[in-house]
């Protein structure tokens, strides 16, 4: 029981004391998958907050993929007969062999919210996201400084994750000066649109095979060019030299 509880806690960061409610949720998930085996499932990221949607009365096809724990293997066995839809060609290439990939549907954004921005002075670049080494915020700051361009950094330091907190303190805080390199904290949708809409470019120097890159789509939706490394889905989204680099 301790081993199973630890695995379930791994899947979403919950406490082992939540074992019985989480075990019930996992069993409902299994039953739901068995009943819905002919549905389409999207390959991306699953945390057990999304499991609640799947296991509840209103079935919402989940994105499945890269949580940490032994449950990953069991879920992949359950889902193997179902047709799967990935969020990028790169995501499909990175899947375990033997899965039934029906096609690719790239991520999108509601264009009623994301309107093209008439840029003003565009005297800064930006980085936006979750603070982790493979997201490349430190590289973005260094690149902006070398180019002599101001950078405004926004996003979440995940206080419950020691690695995120340590990365921010070790790699980000020493690079900030409040003027040429400034951190404005997490942003809501309105603030995000203003940040991207006024930026000269979004810097996206990721160092992992990111399957979806929502922030890249958001930037392009408001007319903000994207400069990024050719990793993950990025080459599928950016036309080099036309919509970004």
Nearest CA-CA partner of 221 in 237, 203, 241:
237
How open is the CA angle 185-161-158, to the nearest 5 degrees? Answer: 15
The encoded tokens of residue 15 equal 């406490």
Count the neighbouring beta carbons within 10 Å of the beta carbon of residue 170.
11
Helices (H) and strands (E) in the chain, counts: 10, 9
pTM of the shown model: 0.71
How open is the CA angle 93-94-100, to the nearest 5 degrees? Answer: 65
Q: What are phi and psi of 154, to 5 degrees?
A: -140, 150
Count the neighbouring beta carbons within 10 Å of the beta carbon of residue 192.
21
Report whether 167 contacts 192 (CB < 8 A): no
**pLDDT for res 10:** 53
Residue 125, SS3?
Answer: strand
Helices (H), the chain: 2-12, 19-35, 48-55, 71-79, 89-93, 137-147, 162-167, 189-197, 214-221, 234-237
Report whether 215 contacts 128 (CB < 8 A): yes
**pLDDT for res 95:** 86
**pLDDT for res 189:** 94
The encoded tokens of residue 27 equal 């069993």
Chunked into runs of 10 residues, the chain (245 residues) has average pLDDT values of 46 48 55 50 44 42 48 75 90 87 92 82 91 96 96 95 95 97 96 94 95 94 94 94 89
Helix (H) or strand (E) holding 154: strand 150-156
Cα(138)–Cα(210) distance, integer angstroms: 17
Cα(111)–Cα(128) distance, integer angstroms: 19
User: Cα dist. 221→39, 55, 224 in Å?
Assistant: 30, 33, 7
């Amino acid at each position: 029981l301790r081993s199973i509880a630890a695995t379930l806690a791994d899947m979403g960061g919950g406490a082992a004391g939540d074992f019985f409610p989480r075990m019930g949720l996992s069993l409902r998930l299994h039953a739901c998958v068995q009943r819905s085996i002919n549905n389409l499932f999207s390959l991306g990221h699953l945390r057990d907050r999304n499991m609640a949607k799947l296991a509840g009365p209103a079935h919402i096809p989940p994105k499945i993929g890269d949580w940490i724990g032994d449950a990953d293997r069991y879920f992949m066995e359950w889902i193997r007969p179902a047709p799967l839809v990935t969020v990028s060609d790169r995501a499909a290439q990175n899947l375990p062999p033997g899965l039934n990939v029906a096609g690719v549907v790239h991520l999108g954004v509601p264009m009623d919210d994301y309107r093209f921005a008439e840029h003003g002075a565009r005297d800064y670049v930006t980085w936006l996201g979750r603070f982790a080494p493979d997201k490349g915020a430190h590289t973005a700051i260094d690149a902006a400084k070398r180019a002599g361009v101001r950078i405004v950094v926004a996003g979440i330091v995940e206080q419950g994750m020691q690695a995120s907190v340590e990365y921010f303190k070790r790699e980000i805080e020493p690079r900030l000066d409040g003027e040429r390199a400034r951190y404005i904290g997490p942003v809501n949708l309105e603030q995000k649109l203003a940040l991207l809409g006024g930026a000269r470019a979004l810097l996206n120097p990721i160092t992992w095979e990111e399957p979806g890159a929502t922030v890249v789509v958001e930037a392009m939706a408001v007319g903000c060019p994207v400069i990024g490394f050719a990793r993950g889905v990025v080459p599928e989204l950016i036309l080099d030299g036309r919509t970004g680099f």
